[in-house]
Structure 1
């Protein structure tokens, strides 16, 4: 980034510091060997023999002069250019010396390097003073963008300008007081004065813009400060998030300049809690824009800063609570990252399972999980986090959408507790004895997932035959699927429902797919449902080898499942005998009779608030010979029709039935010899 002032070759010390004779001489006329290469590392400090005045010189008189590191309370500016012959950057006019460089005698060197194809030079501060280096290490401890671990480290001067509050603000007093050497504070003050002078015009421009809540593209680098919070929206879910800013650099993508930023936030990758890298950018723009209109901007400039910070803290706490796994409701955008930074987004409205550990097992090559995207954690545990730390959590967790069969990232801000319909199983219209059997078997096997009971295997082979498979058979619309859905509600367990059309038609892929499904369902203690199972599990024939392989894969995986599986079918007679032999219980559903239809109508009418529908009208509806699914669909249309009139009326239901060309008998009438009515 450009700075605003061009400096002379030598610079005066602060007022009150006397100049030596050597200093006076070197300030007036620099000599050739004064341009030693700043990039050279110091070597052993051997005495340097210099010729002095007089015919014999100082060497002949036995007098030697030894250079002392950081002995001059001055700094020096040099320019570095690319040397094509040597294929490296060299200080202009420099002479290589095998001894201690003359530049090492200064507190620091201001080194200007113009990179290839760059329009402006990049300026570095090469620190020579040990006192200055040590106090900077103390003041800038924890700042990731600053590397001060070398003997004579270099720091980008723009970065030091952004860190001026740390060098001279209230927070700097305690570290300065702990520093025993007065030289360290003196050397630091010389550096601070230099930075202030170099960026005086930049600071004036910046403050003028920021006071109006505005910024220009060329000053973005001065707006973002290391280790400060930055606000943005998550690119996959549009969820609000904040991260800690580390560093930035102007880059080019497809010849379009952009301001690229690097930061980090707390995250959980399925194995351990740590910090993940965040990379965002701002495309080049012209003129002046409002800071809060930027795609990314410092959190302190948000117009509703306190409200946003409160929301982020809540999400941080939810993240910690949910990162080990949680069954919850989700409404919003979810996403999954594909290769080459492509993002697939999906609107989700339903129940999900948050489970980063299982996501990692199923998607081991997911880009975000690569080690290069994970930073070394500071050693903090979740129990040690402060309220400010809670601001800087990833806005998403890995999970699975049961409705969409979709593994992806889900915004914590869009999650809520599941609302269970515990009484729904009581409303299922099936014989009471059948309900009790289903409940008893399910209760026993769900208890094993909570560690309350150990189920002995039914097979001689270890880990084989410990699950229970139940087949629900009958015509469409009699409540087979509803039975399983209501059971999951009453037991407050996830329902993992698989349509057989979602499975692979390749036997090898199917085997992998089924193992993944069964292992996932067992981990979550979910009730597993394979709907319309006859599509895959129909009787094998010698000429259909591929179907035989599919059934063999299903049988092999089924043997080792440790849980409860429900299969539904409209055609039990078409099942392969080997599948039927693995089924523990089969329940056959009969076609709905008038009494069953009456109960179903009554359930939906009560749920819809149809209090004005009387017993005679309900009996009239029960005579219509339709199945449960048709009743549900009819009531859905009736509720829409009633929305404009207020309460649900009998007339609304009649109108809904008429859309399917079904007429309802007037209350009290009986149809004789008509198949549509009972």
Structure 2
């Protein structure tokens, strides 16, 4: 009888721990990592120092987890950096695609970004033209997704229903999907590229606290170059597993349906971001005044700041000049704005050093003349500019910019003698073309127009019409905006004229009586202001209009500096008829065909009063749902005449 061999001894189950002595097989020695356990609670990843590849996988993981000498990692720890691993893998794929087939976006962005990531691990690529590999990185990501498959599936299902838990945030974001963030631009979102996202645990007085972190980038102009701004955000964990609406998050993935619109917005940003000043129009609620601290220079005459203007207007987009004056395309304390401000400081240092050393600078910046097409969606949604309507610097939303619809026939409709029109048109177009400048270099080659006469006869309209014909800005300034002492006036007026010279803009100084009348020894303050004005006019190269309602005696010094002086008389009957016709042709509602323009012209009104009467008549016609008729116009004129008569006879102030 054959006695069977004794049964083998029972296997001893060794406890699994980070310090367990695990004898790897020959095949396992070739792998960058091995795993023990299959569930999130008990799975452990053993990483080895493989010499193949550009960077060992263990170095990457240990650097991300701040454990440089550790080889074994619980799955839950690795799951916290899954977003980081995904972003790194995405960068390497983009890099290797570019090495195989170089594109502008690779040469301008992905190559340097990926090399910077590798240098963060302490590794430099010997040959930038060869592919990069981190052996086992893709497999590690796949294994983590396998171990946490249930958690990932649950998070994705919640996201589909518009909800999110704190532990599910890592499944909301993906490296290839742009991120939409709420920023301080009146509800307009910024679009950002995600470079990292991960969880982090820190010990506090209340125990271990968990937070979620994003690192993002966006494209911004520095005036002469485009560059990339970087910032980070953190979100503290909320207790429990309660799901929140996605709408409560400051940053969410971009809806694919919005990509085309935002791509076009980015292309518009590239158009206006560099390449000199751009004179355009902006729509209502898209311009944001900068605060008084930032607007203390650069001819900002508006005293309010930080607000969103309800009206549209015209603006000179000039990020380069704005940056020199300390203006950036956002205001506030949010992280993207702070990143932009800090980057502007770095750019100024780079530029100053490069100019002083002939091109070299220790400051390392990514600078582009244009933005690769793939990155235009990440352009900042606003640019810096100067609003001629608000007379202030600020930033304007790209979505609100549009070409100016110039009124090219405005000068033809100006009620002015034809010979005067021809003289003005010739002087503003060709007055600076000859070589009749002063013998002393640096003196002005510009033109000064003095337009004087009673109110409402077309003085201001002349300057406005000239600006329309030339498609150039008109900077309108009154004496009250220049200050009441010589120093303040010199600073403000110098800023105004400097901007006008740099932008080829026309300047209109209204209410210039204080400058034009003859000086006297009794008024020292006014004499000083006149001297300042005379000196600034001497060196201004552009076109300046001075308007006044009255001048008793011209100062001889001003007479010699005025290129041409034009006297405007009260409107004649024929002139008033023409003004009525011009204004009524431009109203937005129908007008009766039997209007009696001769009867309207017999009313003794100036141009501004006629304009006000037309505005009132249009409002009354809309109220009555009627065209503008002779009866409505006469009713309006009767009311306005009565109102002016009552004001003249009102002596209640004597009581």
Q: Does TM, normalized by the shorter one, top 0.5?
A: yes
Which residue pairs with 1:274 in the alignment? 227
- The Cα shift of 1:347 comes to 3.1
Aligned match of 1:88: none
Residue 291 of structure 1, aligned match among 228, 246, 264: 246
2:627 maps to which residue? 647
Give the C-alpha shift of residue 345 in structure 1: 3.1
For residue 352 of structure 1, the aligned residue among 311, 315, 328 is: 315
Change (3 A) 1:72 1:604: closer
Deviations 1:364-412 (A, max 9, x none): 7997444377696556552x613x3121111111111101101011111
Q: Equivalent residue for 2:359?
A: none
2:217 corresponds, among 264, 270, 291, to 264
**Structure 2 equivalent of residue 33 of structure 1:** none
Aligned mates of 1:344, 1:279 — CA distance in 2: 27
Distance (whole Å) between structure 1 residues aligned to residue 58 and residue 578 of structure 2: 77
From 281, 287, 295, the equivalent of 1:329 is 281
What are the residue-to-residue correspondences of 1:414-429 with 2, within 5 Å? 414-429=400-415
Rate the CA distance shift 1:380–1:639 in 2: closer, same or farther, 3 A: same
1:511 Cα offset (Å): 2.2
The 1:297/1:188 distance shift into structure 2, 3 A limit, reads closer
2:343 to 368, 371, 385: 371
Specify the SS of the correspondent of 2:438: coil
Q: 2:18 is matched with which residue: 9, 12, 25?
A: 9
Aligned Cα RMSD in Å? 4.6
| Greater displacement, 534-543 / 598-607 | 534-543
Q: Is the CA contact 1:161–1:199 (under 8 Å) kept in the aligned structure 2?
A: no
Question: RCO (CA 8 Å, sep 6+): is it higher in 1 or 2?
Answer: 2
1:280/1:463 CA distance change after superposition, 3 Å? farther
Asked if 1:658 corresponds to 2:630, the answer is no
Partner of 1:312: 262
Give the whole-Å Cα distance in 2 for the aligned partners of 1:624 and 1:289.
69
- The structure with the larger Rg is 1
Matched residue of 1:425: which SS?
coil
SS of 1:502's equivalent?
helix
Q: Is the 8 A contact 1:132 1:187 kept in 2?
A: no
What SS does the aligned partner of 2:484 have? coil
Alignment partner of 2:405: what SS? coil
**Structure 2 residue matching 1:209: 3-state secondary structure:** helix
Partner of 1:239 in structure 2? 188
Q: Quick one: structure 1 residues 528 and 191, their matched pair in 2 at CA, closer, same or farther if it must change by over 3 Å?
A: same
Q: Identify unmatched segments of 5+ residues in structure 2.
A: 1-14, 37-45, 101-124, 126-132, 295-304, 332-337, 348-363, 645-655
Instruction: Supply the distance in 2 between the matched residues of 1:135 and 1:520 (Cα, whole angstroms).
Output: 57
- Relative distance call for 1:651 and 1:18 in structure 2 (3 A) is same
Q: For 1:107, which of 47, 72, 82 is the aligned residue? A: 47
Of residues 477-486 and 522-531 in structure 1, the stretch that sits farther from structure 2 once superposed is 522-531
Q: Does 1:444 align with 2:430?
A: yes
2-structure distance, mates of 1:195, 1:14: 23
Alpha-carbon distance in structure 2 between the residues aligned to 1:204 and 1:216: 13
CA gap of 1:518–1:281, structure 2 versus 1, over 3 A, is farther
Find the counterpart in structure 2 of residue 214 from structure 1: 163
Give the TM-score, by structure 1 length: 0.68
> How many residues align structurally?
537
Compared CA separation, residues 506 and 190, structure 1 to 2 (3 A): same
Aligned 8 A contact 1:601 1:631 in 2? yes
Matches within 5 A, 1:582-661: 582-608=561-587, 611-614=591-594, 617-644=596-623, 645-661=625-641
| 1:456 CA displacement | 1.9
User: Is the partner of 2:323 in helix, strand or coil?
Assistant: helix
Length-normalised TM-score, structure 2: 0.70
Task: Find the aligned partners of 1:473 and 1:600 in 2 and give their Cα distance.
Answer: 19
Change over 3 Å in CA distance of 1:635–1:276 after alignment to 2: same
Q: What is the distance in 2 between the residues matched to 1:134 and 1:406?
A: 53
Structure 1 pair 478–195 and aligned structure 2 pair: CA distance change class (3 A): same
Evaluate the alpha carbon distance shift between residue 514 and residue 297 of structure 1 in structure 2; reply closer, same or farther with a 3 A threshold.
Answer: same
Unaligned runs of 5+ in 1: 1-5, 21-69, 77-105, 109-127, 665-678
For the 8 Å contact 1:147–1:153, the answer to whether it is kept is no
Structure-2 separation of matches of 1:425 and 1:499: 23
Q: Is this contact kept in 1: 2:453–2:568, CA < 8 A?
A: yes
Contact 1:529–1:566, Cα closer than 8 Å, also in 2: yes
Equivalence map 1:125-274=2 (5 Å): 128-131=49-52, 134=55, 157=78, 160-163=81-84, 165=86, 187-188=136-137, 191-192=140-141, 195-196=144-145, 199=148, 202-220=151-169, 222-226=171-175, 228-247=177-196, 261-274=214-227
Task: Work out which of the residue numbers 539, 557, 564 in structure 2 matches 1:578.
Answer: 557
2:32–2:135 CA contact under 8 A, matched in 1:
no
Secondary structure (helix, strand or coil) at the match of 1:517 reads: helix
8 Å Cα contact 2:476-2:507 kept in structure 1: yes
The one-character-per-residue Cα deviations of 1:96-151 (angstroms, maximum 9, x if unpaired) are xxxxxxxxxx736xxxxxxxxxxxxxxxxxxx5444762669999xxxx9799x99
Report if aligned partners of 1:227, 1:246 keep a CA contact under 8 Å in 2.
no
Provide Cα deviations, 1:343-376, integer angstroms capped at 9, x if missing partner. Answer: 5433341111111112123337997444377696
Name the structure 1 match of 2:508.
529
> Normalized per residue, which structure has more strand?
1
Q: What SS does structure 2 have at the residue aligned with 1:426?
A: coil
Whether contact under 8 Å (2:89, 2:137) holds in the other structure is: no
CA distance in 2 between counterparts of 1:630 and 1:137 reads: 82
**What SS is found at the alignment partner of 1:422?**
coil
Aligned to 1:557: 536
How far off is 1:266 after superposition? 1.2
